[in-house]
Amino acid sequence: MLNISSNKIARFVPKEKFAALSYAESLSSGKIVQKFLVVFGVVLLLFAFLPWTQNIRSKGSVTALRPEQRPQKVNTAITSRIKSWHVKEGDFVSAGDTLLILSETKSEYLDPNLVSRTQDQVNAKKKSVDLYHQKTSALTNQMSRLIENKQLKTQQAINKIKQAHYKVKTDSMELIAAKNTQEIAQKQFDRINTLYQDGLKSKTDLELKNVSLQKALANLTAKENKLLTSKNELTNAKLALNSTIAEYDQKIAKASSDKLGNESAAFQATAQASKLENTLSNYSIRNQMYVIRAPQDGYVTKIISTGIGEILKEGQNILTIMPAHYDLAVESYIDPIDLPLVHKGQEIRIQFDGWPAIVFSGWPDASYGTFKGKIFAIDNYISDNGKYRVLAIPDSSAHKWPDALRVGSATNSIMLLKDVQIWYEIWRQINSFPPDYYIKNPENKTEK
């Protein structure tokens, strides 16, 4: 009965006749429930004022801190065929150990003596270059001799010109003397002829003077001819000088042309020799690529290309090596809305798969099985999954991470934020508000 009416009937009911009714009214369960609810409410109220650490939870995995310490794929640089294997999965290899040997597939590289034949071509081309240099040296010496001979021949022609010039000058003076002699003879003949006409001189004297006059005329003519000959020799000497200069200039120009042509041929031969040396180096390096060696110490974790005789394309992955020595780190991904809440050096708690843990995200100190770390780097560019990657490393001041931990293990990261009360955190979660933004050391910030 609800017992809500003002007209009570309990006094009219004989309870002694109804044992069950008397037993039910004697129970105090209602009071116990009431006390329990009161105590529970008080405990809940006190619980609401307990501290709670806000956090950001994210999934991630274990990785290596440095890029050269992460799993490395070994590939082939040339198109080839697998000839033999020297390792299997799980083997430990040191840097430089042979992993497998390849063989050639392209027809232009099948010659077993390809490197030695190319070396012979290089040697022959180098000898050709040396011969060109020797010929150039000979042409240079020839040009030097021609220049010296040109100077000597030119000096000789100049001397002949000077001699011819002096001879012309001498002959000119002799011609003047002959003219004077002829004039004197002519005057003497005229005087003798006048005296002969007057009867003062004999005809013999006249004839003697006439002979002297004719000799003077003959001598004058001879001197004129000699002067003309000397002038002609002077002209010939000048022509000889010009001819000598032109002849040696032509020879020097031809020798210079031959030298330039030879130098051009030497440059071409040098270029061909360099090209052959480049080809030889490529062949030698290609021969070394037939042996695939371990790039560093590590374990062969997965062989991708298998079998004997399988064709490998250029750049194709062959196997994967996990470095033997690496520094562990954890990469996690957070939403863009949480990016302003994290910073380098921030504390982070990490739960590794395979290690039992009891996690209280709001009470990190009460959690069991989590390991402490700190944020080492934060990506400045969003990842393909629409989140930002956060890299964490072990905290040297805390408990060491497990030695059996391996790269690739899944993780559950808890990035610790501001300490608040539980009622505030519940209110924030109900309203879907983000965690509070805060700076770890606000006292270090200078106020504006």
Report yes or no on 156 lying in a domain: yes
Same domain? 208 vs 268: yes
For residue 391, give the CATH number of its domain: 2.40.30.170
Half-sphere exposure of 195 (CA within 13 A, CB side): 15
Same domain? 90 vs 168: no
Same domain? 422 vs 331: yes
Q: How many residues are present in the chain?
A: 448
Instruction: Write out pLDDT tens, residues 184-240.
Output: 888 888 888 888 787 777 778 778 888 888 888 888 888 888 888 888 888 888 898
Same domain? 341 vs 197: no
Tell me: pLDDT of 183 over 80.
Answer: yes
Q: How many domains does the chain have?
A: 3
Same domain? 149 vs 215: yes
Instruction: Write out pLDDT tens, residues 82-122.
Output: 999 999 999 999 999 999 999 988 888 888 888 899 999 99
Give the model's confidence band at 442: pLDDT under 50 very low, under 70 low, under 90 confident, else very high.
Answer: very low
CA pair distance 221, 187, nearest whole angstrom: 18
Same domain? 274 vs 393: no
Same domain? 152 vs 260: yes
Report yes or no on 37 lying in a domain: no
Report yes or no on 393 lying in a domain: yes
Report yes or no on 119 lying in a domain: yes
Same domain? 310 vs 362: no
Instruction: Write out pLDDT tens, residues 116-141.
Output: 999 999 999 989 989 988 988 998 89
Report yes or no on 362 lying in a domain: yes
User: Which residue segment(s) compose the domain that 85 sits in?
Assistant: 71-97+294-323
Same domain? 193 vs 213: yes
Lookup: tokens for 201:
């001189």
Which pTM does this prediction carry? 0.57
Report yes or no on 425 lying in a domain: yes
Same domain? 270 vs 156: yes
Report yes or no on 12 lying in a domain: no
For residue 203, give the CATH number of its domain: 1.10.287.620
CA pair distance 316, 106, nearest whole angstrom: 16
Same domain? 163 vs 277: yes
For residue 84, give the CATH number of its domain: 2.40.50.100
pLDDT at 448: 40
- Residue closest to 53 by CA, chosen among 428, 438, 421, 439: 421
Other Cβ atoms within 10 Å of 54 Cβ, number: 20
Report yes or no on 11 lying in a domain: no
Instruction: Write out pLDDT tens, residues 256-273.
Output: 898 898 889 889 989 999
C-alpha dist (Å) from residue 309 to 75, 107, 314 = 16, 16, 15
Q: What SS3 string covers 249-318?
A: HHHHHHHHHHHHHHHHHHHHHHHHHHHHHHHHHHHHHHHHCCEEECCCCEEEEEECCCCCCCEECCCCEE
pLDDT at 201: 76
Within 92-220, strands assigned E span 92-93, 98-104
Same domain? 137 vs 240: yes
The strand order across the sheet containing 298-303 reads 72-75, 317-323, 298-303, 92-93
Lookup: tokens for 406:
């391996």
